[in-house]
Chain A
């Protein structure tokens, strides 16, 4: 089985990389972009029977820093 973890900076945490991407898109003429937030996608290959709760624990303990980041888990 596989799981996909999305890690994003929380709302309210400045994302200078996202801001730089938005700025570049604007400079290229993509004026319709009003904001960009950049995050991470982490794919996990897991032993059968691994629960979503196990993956959430991995997120809490390592994959995300919950001081600044939120995460979501997708079982594929």
Chain B
């Protein structure tokens, strides 16, 4: 299984994401934002956290128009897997690969702490290592994580079982406590919390490791 982790100017969780994939057994390539193509044979693209292009204009907006994001969108349209964390989730909503948008936190503060996340569905190659209803401890670190989508879109997410994670104690004002969502084909996942920061005992928690094991295992067997 081959993971490609995109590096934008201002990415700061790219290495963490790469280490988490590698620890789960994946081969990892770092992918530069100016490249117009993904490396040969990439099964999953990781879009890391950070402040791509300084988050100018809107979080993720400039990154979404970068050359590599065209290739990432093509990969997703071919049925490829894409996993966006934090700023990566913002990039995925800006590209339109996932619905909705991430607004400024309702409390206006940057929030950096470990939060409880409820696994809403285990029906995806990312969340298959958990049971629906499990509560896991994963860190968040964001200023713009307040998930917004209109009622029709929220209903669609609920009806299609595409809400992957919700907060047990909403830290940012997200609609329906949403922390992470899946694409209609369940192969694109975006989430604000950082499972790659809870994937090694040195992190103080390992609840995120099961996500990397599940997706790496699923794509290795595929």
Q: Which residues of A contact B (CB under 8 A)?
A: 9, 13-14, 16-17, 20, 61-63, 65, 67-68
Contact = CB atoms under 8 A, between A and B. Distances in A.
Contact of A13 (B57, B58, B148): B148
Contacts, number: 37
A61 B104 CA distance: 21
A16 B173 contact: yes
A40 to B, nearest CB: 8
Contact of B61 (A9, A20, A62): A62
Contacts of B65: 61-62
Interface residues of B, number: 19
A17 B100 contact: no
B105 interface: yes
Nearest to A68: B101
A41 to B, nearest CB: 13
In this complex, the member of B65, B105, B108, B148 whose beta carbon has the largest number of chain A beta carbons within 10 angstroms is B148
B104 A16 contact: yes
Contacts of B103: 9, 13-14, 16, 68
